[in-house]
Amino acid sequence: MSSWAPHLPVLQVVVPLMTAPLAVLMPDRRLAWALATAASICALAIAIALVGDVREQGTVVYEVGSWAPPYGIALGVDAMSALLLLVVAGASTLGLLASATSLPGEIEPQRQPQFYAAWLLSLAGLSGILVTADAFNIFVFMEISSLSAYVLIAGGPDKRALPSVFKYLAMGTIGATFYLIGVGLVYMMTGTLNLADMEQRLATVGDVKPILVAAGFITVGLALKAAVFPLHVWLPNAYTYAPNVVTVFLAACATKISIYILIRFDFFVFQGNLTAHDWQFSYFLMPLAILGILVASMVAIFETHLKRLLAWSSVAQIGYIILGASLISVTGLTASMLHMFNHAIAKGTAFLAIACLALSISSLDIRNIAGVARHMPWTMAAFVVAGLSLIGVPGTAGFISKWYLIKAALEMGDLAFPLIAVILIGSVMAVIYVWRVVESAYFGNADAGMSGATIKEAPLAILIPTWIAVMLNVWFGLAPALPVELSTRAAELLMGHMP
Amino acid sequence: MEYLGLYNYWIAVVLLMTGFYAVVAKRNMVKKLIGLSLFQAAVFLMYITMGKVDGGTAPIYTAAGGEQIFSNPLPQVLILTAIVVGISTTALGLAIVVRTKEEYGTIEEDEIQQIDEHTSGGQQ
């Protein structure tokens, strides 16, 4: 095993990438599922091992083919990527475990091997973005993960999945191409694609105008991919009409990985080299984050479709993540990292509970789940915990990140009061939209909904992954040492690049 | 004259904006995809242009040796990858268009929207 250890960063990508074509060849859907799940568990094990390495020795660097950077392509795993590797591999594993029960109702058996192949490619792409230290590699992995995500969403049983995925494809491609333009401009001025090398060479570039344009293209392109508030229009429908387990996976990680690139690129490459860039970064993103929190939460309050309600809540939560980053302080970035981790757990759990619900309830409308908690107590209890975590109630994971966010806001002097007000108003709005679901499920009149006889508790095979996720919510709410340590280290790493 | 000398970049910018306009303004799905391809092609052109050195040739060492000027091959390699990505995107987009035509009987986004509003009265 020791001879494998140095190759962990590349194995993180290679394992799912190589398993994907094998999954297509599987004659039976069960075999394909078993293969995909095994690969995903393997990826999770690698991610956990990498977290261990990062905690011991800091950044783990891997030179692909032993070619030294900047000529060779380097992979690098630091605290920031290790934290998100856990999220990606964990969400994929829980989603796949749940898919054994949830998927047969949504996708025909003969198409399932292809579905699992696309899932593995998406996992490989998302992990690839996290481990690589090369700007162009990020683009390629981003497109691998996005293209397979389009396929996954288009597999949804509702025909409305098709126009929504087309919109996602058009906007996602524009976002990725913007990023490509930005990387091209930086390459034109520096002649390198390695992020660390870029930062050093940028210092010697005389004319910073192309670099400013590049910063603009990269920020807007990635904000589009990350569904930052006014650029979020692809998200609600794409999440709503995707197969339920796909929503679990994508809601937990897809947009966060784009935010990861956005933050990493900006801090590692631009902040140290552009004058007043911290100011531009903050003043561009902070208003969008605040608007996102308030407007998206408001829409969620009036939404009646459960999945779309949670999707709008995702847009609001992305606002919190961006808000933390836009404060440009160690505490703010810690809060941002923590919220990526904790929101992934909370929203993953919520969508897993929805996947359980969907097994018994044909139409996921808030009026149709009246009184359902009497028939599905475990499912609804899971949803309640996820909801509490989304709100940020003490004892759940969501509380920890909101706490850090408020701490970061307190450091802002004059801005402290309005920022805290926004965070608290956003949380109160979360209480309202979560409560509407809970009220209908627990106190709604069952007769008004569907006939109670057909509704029964979800099978154990899907309740177990759901409750693992619930336990994670509580575990990281009570013992947040690991994510807090990794987030703090990531934030210090990022702030180390400030001029 | 200095600006005319950079005509490749101007072409790239014009193509970029034409493609972008088509993606945003057109309501037909195939036209949107054409715009998207144009949009990507503009970026390819930009990359190839910046790798070109005046009087430079392909970076191959010949027996003659001596001083030679080479164009930068790396942007071309990068764009080869980006072209593959672009083709995959277009192929996937067209596949979605075909599926949409099968399900809705139209590829005009306005008509699709009407059909959706019609059917989504009570269900889901």
Flag whether pLDDT at B124 surpasses 50.
no
Shortest Cα distance, chain A CAs vs residue B57, angstroms: 19
Q: Could you tell me the residue range of the domain that residue B45 belongs to?
A: 4-52+71-120
Query: For position A271, what pLDDT does the model report?
Result: 84
Query: For position A1, what pLDDT does the model report?
Result: 47
The domain that holds B102 is classified in CATH as 1.10.287.3510
Q: Which residue shows structure tokens 């005046």?
A: B54
* DSSP string across A417-447: HHHHHHHHHHHHHHHHHHHHHHHHHHHS-GG
Q: Is residue B114 part of a domain?
A: yes
Query: For position A209, what pLDDT does the model report?
Result: 87
Query: For position B119, what pLDDT does the model report?
Result: 75
Across residues B112-123, what is the average pLDDT?
73
Q: CA nearest A369 in B: which residue? A: B124
Query: For position B43, what pLDDT does the model report?
Result: 93
Q: In chain B, pLDDT over 70 holds for what percent of residues? A: 90
ipTM of this complex: 0.92
pTM value > 0.80: yes
Which one of A147, A165, A174, A224 makes the best mutation probe of the B interface by having the most chain B beta carbons within 10 Å? A174
Sorting pLDDT into bands at 50, 70 and 90, what band is B1? very low
What's the rounded Cα separation, in Å, for the pair A24 and A114?
5
Q: Is residue B14 part of a domain?
A: yes
Query: β-strand A60-63 against A74-77: which pairing, if any?
Result: antiparallel
Residue A38's CB is within 10 A of a number of other CB atoms, namely: 13
Interchain proximity A305–B124, CB inside 8 Å: yes
In 3D, which of A397, A371, A372 has the Cα closest to residue A386? A397
- Pick A181's closest partner by Cβ from B43, B113, B116: B43
What's the rounded Cα separation, in Å, for the pair A318 and A344?
11
Q: Is residue B59 part of a domain?
A: no
Query: For position B122, what pLDDT does the model report?
Result: 43
Query: For position A451, what pLDDT does the model report?
Result: 52
Q: Is residue B116 part of a domain?
A: yes
What's the rounded Cα separation, in Å, for the pair A481 and A78?
17
Flag whether pLDDT at B81 surpasses 50.
yes
Interchain proximity B97–A188, CB inside 8 Å: no
Number of H helices and number of E strands within chain B? 5, 0
Query: For position B68, what pLDDT does the model report?
Result: 77
Number of domains in chain B: 1
Looking at this protein, which amino acid is placed at residue A343? H
Mean pLDDT score of chain B:
86
A194 SS3 class = strand
- Tokens, residue A498: 């400030």
**Cβ atoms of residues B82 and B40 within 8 Å:** yes
Q: What angle do CA A383, A98, A141 make, to 5 degrees?
A: 105
Per run of 10 residues, the mean pLDDT along chain A (length 499 residues) is 77 93 89 93 94 89 83 87 94 93 85 92 95 92 94 89 93 94 91 87 84 92 91 91 92 91 91 83 92 94 92 94 92 94 94 91 82 87 94 92 93 88 94 92 69 72 92 92 92 87
Query: For position A216, what pLDDT does the model report?
Result: 92
Interchain proximity A174–B39, CB inside 8 Å: yes
Q: Is residue B61 part of a domain?
A: no
Q: Which residue shows structure tokens 């149709």?
A: A368
